[in-house]
Structure 1
Amino acid sequence: MNYMETRLAKLARNGDRRAFAELVELYKDKIYHLGYRMLGNRQEAEDIVQETFMRLYSNLHRYDENQKFSTWIFRIAANLCIDRLRKRKVTYSLDAEVNDGEGNDYYAMMSSDEDTPEKQVIVSETQRQIRKVIDNMPDKYKSIIVLRYLQDLSLQEISDVLDMPITTIKTRLHRGREYLRKKLEASGTRNYL
């Protein structure tokens, strides 16, 4: 996949609109999910997709072909999300976005063996609690938790995306998990992490 993306990036850099359209098609959903998971808002996630591809298009000449394309595009998107999070006021709450019609699928961090109504209520409430904690988590932990557990990136990929040493990633991941665990315990939610 990496070779194909590198080839598409080269073609797009040389003005091939079809190659750029293929890159958009390959990554638009992944970028949307990253934006939604980090920002918790559909409109902002859609904005992140557009901003990411605008930045990508105007900066294709800077793409280093020795670097994985996925790492580069995720770095652009993650940085845009982090910038938006920094600009938000501390009092801004995403609670109103919990029932936005998309459900809480992205925050389904636990598996369900049975689909009894009782189990569905517990799972739904747990997902709501996890989402609330992640939404209110300090940004330095939030971005790493989202990239690791919700985007399923490796520690090395997160290090590349956020341009941080892997030791810092490990430390923040550990502290982020602890933050999440403590907040979930304080709310009475069972620990499934």
Structure 2
Amino acid sequence: MDLLEAKIVTRAQKGDRIAFAELVELYKDKLYNLSYRMLGNPHDAEEMTQEAFLKAYANLKKYDSRHKFSTWIYRIATNCCIDRLRKKKADYSLDAPLDSDDGGDMYSVLSSGDSPEFHVIAREQRFELQSAIEQLPPSYRAVVILKYIEDLSMQEIADILALPVSTVKTRLHRGREALRTYMIQ
């Protein structure tokens, strides 16, 4: 954790609401993206992002500054999403259109020089990948998203999920295998 972030966290732990608002500003997009990847629904992603920040705020005094704040807040958000997935069956349709006007969903940014066919194929591939990710069990989904979308190290993922690195590696391998199966079908 960098020095500035550490100071903001310390201020927030002392009850400074402006400092906590700064933390929200720093992490809101990251937590929303994580939640969206986990849940596949923008409304649920917003809800889980808010819930994660509420839980973080309520438990801020329990945060141990020996660990990275990002690890702690990612763990809270991931657990919120996993709890939501356990409580709720999927309520989406694979035939439903994507939410944005251009069909994009933040997996990648396409350059304007690409052909229209390339855009259509890339959009379909992103949609297929998101659909496949949504089919993964929550434990595999979390690891796959944290590794390949959030680009975290195995150790960071292990810290976030409170698992041994070997378990993270196993879940990542099984998650990739399951994705491969879903994508071939």
Q: TM (normalized to structure 2)?
A: 0.90
Aligned to 2:179: 180
Alpha-carbon distance, 1:2 to partner: 2.8
Q: Which amino acid aligns with 1:56?
A: A
Q: Aligned partners of 1:104, 1:161: CA distance in 2, in Å?
A: 28
Change (3 A) 1:79 1:97: farther
Aligned to 2:50: 50
Aligned to 1:147: 146
Change (3 A) 1:85 1:94: farther
Contact (CA 8 Å) 1:145, 1:176: kept in 2 or not? yes
Q: Aligned partners of 1:15, 1:139: CA distance in 2, in Å?
A: 34
Greater mean deviation of Cα atoms: 61-70 or 112-121:
112-121
Q: Aligned partners of 1:94, 1:165: CA distance in 2, in Å?
A: 35
Change (3 A) 1:96 1:53: farther
Q: TM (normalized to structure 1)?
A: 0.87
Alpha-carbon distance, 1:105 to partner: 2.9
- In structure 2, stretches of 5+ residues that fail to align are none
Aligned to 1:130: 129
Listed one character per residue, the Cα deviations across residues 144-163 of structure 1 (whole Å, up to 9, x for unaligned) are 11111111111111000000
Q: Secondary structure at the match of 1:95?
A: coil
Q: Aligned partners of 2:120, 2:96: CA distance in 1, in Å?
A: 19
- Alpha-carbon RMSD across the aligned residues, in angstroms, is 2.1
Q: Aligned partners of 2:64, 2:100: CA distance in 1, in Å?
A: 39
Change (3 A) 1:121 1:79: same
- In structure 1, stretches of 5+ residues that fail to align are 187-193
Q: Which amino acid aligns with 1:119?
A: F
Where does 1:10-159 land on structure 2 (aligned, <5 Å)? 10-89=10-89, 92-95=91-94, 98-101=97-100, 103-108=103-108, 115-159=114-158
Q: Secondary structure at the match of 1:107?
A: coil
Q: Aligned partners of 2:174, 2:111: CA distance in 1, in Å?
A: 27
Q: Deviating runs (4+, > 4 A) in structure 1?
A: 110-114
Alpha-carbon distance, 1:136 to partner: 1.1
